[in-house]
Structure 1
């Protein structure tokens, strides 16, 4: 037994309250090392003349990644508090693992040896909005979705789709265009829209905010936006806006005052200015997003900045009834601000969704006091490597996804924002080198995974584009140029996800087989089981799957004899 690989901590993703009664406890061991793991546990105050009263229950192997096995147990302590340790058996060796280390036999003379979950306080339970688990998002880059009102086109705008997207060109996309095409979203089956920034800005992407309290005039006015939110809500669609609070734009009035008055500016402490005079070229001497001179970093430790941004957060909820905020460059803003932000947002609307843009391990932001979710790029990367890029096989993919599933508590995973592409990446079809069958597999993986998935506008009809600005083409509204087969594929998956909750967040994902480029996994709950088989390779696999008795084909190819290249089968237990 490799004791150095055994790991647990009494918190975060290893010991947490799943709900007001239930604790989830996990243990990590070396891959293939343990034959059996049990939890030894008891109430720390439950003593009799015979000593501390404990119980022992077996833990379940919940997954295996490249290096480790993970074990899980769900337990409901009658008095909401627990002391616990682990009994681990490997061959002829058995050890007891506690907070104080390893023992040949469990020490029962003092509960101080053991890991401690002091008390399950209801207020400490991680709670994302309940509606998020059933939501499928659709990301819209407003300048490129649809031009519904020519009268508000920015100066120099070119006709819709008349040229390739550039860093600085405009096509006139606006709110009226979204309203005009709401039926497209309803038909597809999405239930949430994530808008990239809509506030007044100079660029076409709007991540360089000039005024956080005003709509950019090229999108319409506040009345049109209010109408858009109303239309969305009438069609069962939530609305989430992009908050760029890490940095402002170059033409943000306080920054312009700083440029004009330098150290005499009343706004000098709104930014991170390193010295005077202020220098813009060749590299700014003030902190920015990356080294982008037009995006000066805001000082969110400054009380005036905090007050201003929190006012912004409340205003768009209270005045326009939006349903959530996506937070740009969220990891570069201090935790203290995000805690205040959460309080402000949840006070304005308790069921508002708070999503952080973070590309790495985000446990520090997901403990119930800051975000409800982050953008799940670890899932994105694993799926693209397996299907689109063909750089890993099914076994490695299953290991990577298992690691992703164990990065966070289960109730955090249920609200995770899953995506395949966005305005920050090249198009999914480009990742797939134009192979639409690969793209179908990617959507199959995402739409049968735990969390809340997001479709980037136009991916559902096969739009192409390299990384920014190529991924920001005008939406194609000519049906003759749309891939309607791809649209129907995604539409069917969304319909199945809605009809069979086991495919979404009410099902446990278990990998059954991963060989070569063929993957078999199950989504199961107490009353339903769906098997999903896919071939991410370019060659057919013969006799790849023996259909269990009592299962029927739900979607895809009949795999009883062969599964074609990039083919898939979905079977449901009758």
Structure 2
């Protein structure tokens, strides 16, 4: 495959290519394809372009009309067609005819062969995204490890207290019980750090009463854990966040509860109770649980009463806490919610949660945790987006893995349970993975999904990048270069970047539990300040440029050690060039990218008709004139 993609026909679901971003059922939407003029020997333009959609299960072909690009004579042609939005989710792709052959253009790219519908573009009448969401830069907080604050709280019965600088216990039975004592008032008192960093959204892992430091084993959905400060502490935090322009998203387990939850206790005590139907309890007293973990009994979404209490209607948990001021929910293990054996209520659960949220707060955001391909769960009126582990985290790790065997600090890490180490892959394979993961998503789903270098469930990216395994700050900067390259991709690719607390300081970690390191507020001199400065710079760029938040994505040049792409918006077009090592020079025709104004990195070498991008490792951002 040629490393150059600049002359590939291009379409994505962004506003430049789909002119109505909120289509109605039965409407006709103008969709466009950009076909660059290809100056390479033997290249010819298509002599016809058609949009091929699927209406009520049957393919239909509609011709597109060529429209020379205004002010771009000799650069390319826009082809436009009317797409009938015949179904709530309408799939489509483009056929380009070249003399006696044809090529297909779908979400995965351009193909010189016939392809299935799996990678077709999609528009959805149901997937309307709250307008504020694409503009966010998120910051994830694990409350027990963020900061002390407020009145001292009594040690919970389940807890093994730890001093703030103690090593994190990340293996063995005591992992969920190590208690550092962070509180919601502590988060509130440190909101200035989020604002300094350029964050606009606070994502809190669970705050409900539980019997662990992670609180995914809810003992109640009716109260904030007193250990975190209780209901009033959450109210103070939300109010303070809103006052400084921060949105707040909570974390809810709809797949399971904890074994001490009143619903589960009632279900075990009385086989005739309504709560018995909330779970799948067998005649011998055993029950279904999350991945066989007995402390996390799995909810049965066939129970209408359970649904009513948890997420269906104004009296539900979902609605109640939105009234406390939350701006949205992240749903834990959403990929498993409602799925158990022959039962699959997952799409219905997502749609009902979304309907409840919309009735309570029409602009609330619904995010799903999903560790692998989420495309089949994202097309309808359910989850707005997903935590994009498959379409961002995993490919980026495999391109910027700095701890492979033979490296200065080998780590041998695996990705979310795969029985093989994280590989080191070339750029072409990485981009193919990115495109495959997003091919079948409506564009609105992609821009509503979150991009994570890591999270509370993964090793720290700084360790993946080769920065050490101590669980503390990589003060020597061993993984800094690749870490900052990953940060540049996080801030310049589509999706909502979410920073896990401490990444900006260079914290390391071997696994999810090891990565839940308390923030070293009192050891500021040990922070990796060049990394922190990098976060300040790249979050500021993200917030300053509309094309990075709402623009389309067009790949320009891809080789083993460099990735080059455009973010296109009607207001501006930006060129991004990220390289992990020295690489062959990337030269682009000046006429096709225009003069380049440097925004970050190093200047490009511009001659009379060519642009030569920097050939060493680094991240570079330019505005195209």
Mark yes or no: TM-score above 0.5. yes
Q: TM-score range by the shorter chain?
A: 0.7 to 0.9
- Which residue is 1:467 aligned to? 511
Q: Structure 1: where are the runs of 5+ without partners?
A: 1-10, 45-51, 61-71, 98-114, 279-284
Out of 385, 392, 399, which is 1:386 matched to? 399
Q: Distance in 2 between matches of 1:59 and 1:208?
A: 58
- Which residue is 1:129 aligned to? 130
- Structure 1's 203 and 355: CA in aligned 2 closer, same or farther, altered over 3 A? same
Q: Distance in 2 between matches of 1:172 and 1:474?
A: 10
Q: Distance in 2 between matches of 1:274 and 1:53?
A: 53
Corresponding position: 1:242 with 2:251: yes
Which SS does the other structure have where 2:213 is aligned? Answer: coil
Aligned-residue CA RMSD in angstroms? 3.7
- Which residue is 1:568 aligned to? 619
Out of 177, 187, 193, which is 1:184 matched to? 193
- Write the deviation string for residues 451-504 of structure 1: whole angstroms up to 9, x where unpaired: 211111100111111113201111111211212211111111111111111122
Count the aligned residue pairs: 505
1:470-485 mapped onto 2 (5 Å cutoff): 470-477=514-521, 478-485=523-530
Kindly indicate whether the alpha-carbon contact (under 8 Å) linking 1:22 and 1:75 is maintained by their aligned counterparts in 2. Answer: no
Kindly indicate whether the alpha-carbon contact (under 8 Å) linking 1:271 and 1:298 is maintained by their aligned counterparts in 2. Answer: yes
1:278-293 mapped onto 2 (5 Å cutoff): 278=285, 285-293=286-294
Kindly indicate whether the alpha-carbon contact (under 8 Å) linking 2:561 and 2:580 is maintained by their aligned counterparts in 1. Answer: yes
Q: Distance in 1 between matches of 2:601 and 2:327?
A: 35
- Which residue is 2:167 aligned to? 163
Which SS does the other structure have where 1:519 is aligned? Answer: strand
Superposition deviation, residue 189 in structure 1: 0.4
Which SS does the other structure have where 1:466 is aligned? Answer: coil
- Which residue is 1:281 aligned to? none
Q: Structure 2: where are the runs of 5+ without partners?
A: 1-12, 34-42, 69-77, 106-116, 339-344, 403-422, 468-478, 606-611
- Structure 1's 244 and 73: CA in aligned 2 closer, same or farther, altered over 3 A? farther
Kindly indicate whether the alpha-carbon contact (under 8 Å) linking 1:544 and 1:562 is maintained by their aligned counterparts in 2. Answer: yes
Out of 306, 329, 332, which is 2:333 matched to? 329
Q: Distance in 1 between matches of 2:502 and 2:95?
A: 52
Out of 349, 357, 369, which is 1:357 matched to? 369
- Which residue is 2:484 aligned to? 440
Q: Distance in 2 between matches of 1:265 and 1:327?
A: 27
Q: Distance in 2 between matches of 1:125 and 1:163?
A: 47
1:26-41 mapped onto 2 (5 Å cutoff): 38-39=49-50
- Structure 1's 301 and 571: CA in aligned 2 closer, same or farther, altered over 3 A? same
Superposition deviation, residue 393 in structure 1: 1.1
- Write the deviation string for residues 84-138 of structure 1: whole angstroms up to 9, x where unpaired: 99655355246999xxxxxxxxxxxxxxxxx9xxxx99x9342111100101111
Kindly indicate whether the alpha-carbon contact (under 8 Å) linking 1:438 and 1:566 is maintained by their aligned counterparts in 2. Answer: no
- Structure 1's 200 and 475: CA in aligned 2 closer, same or farther, altered over 3 A? same
Q: Distance in 2 between matches of 1:365 and 1:33?
A: 39
Q: Distance in 2 between matches of 1:54 and 1:453?
A: 37
- Which residue is 2:432 aligned to? 399
Kindly indicate whether the alpha-carbon contact (under 8 Å) linking 1:543 and 1:559 is maintained by their aligned counterparts in 2. Answer: no
Kindly indicate whether the alpha-carbon contact (under 8 Å) linking 2:375 and 2:438 is maintained by their aligned counterparts in 1. Answer: no
- Which residue is 1:492 aligned to? 537
Kindly indicate whether the alpha-carbon contact (under 8 Å) linking 1:34 and 1:88 is maintained by their aligned counterparts in 2. Answer: no
Corresponding position: 1:366 with 2:378: yes
- Which residue is 2:275 aligned to? 267
Superposition deviation, residue 403 in structure 1: 2.2
- Structure 1's 302 and 462: CA in aligned 2 closer, same or farther, altered over 3 A? same
TM-score by length of 2: 0.73
Q: Distance in 2 between matches of 1:307 and 1:368?
A: 21
1:67-466 mapped onto 2 (5 Å cutoff): 75-76=81-82, 88-93=96-101, 124-149=125-150, 151-155=152-156, 156-166=160-170, 167=175, 168-261=177-270, 263-276=271-284, 278=285, 285-310=286-311, 311-318=316-323, 320-332=324-336, 333=338, 334=345, 335-378=347-390, 379-388=392-401, 391-434=424-467, 435-466=479-510
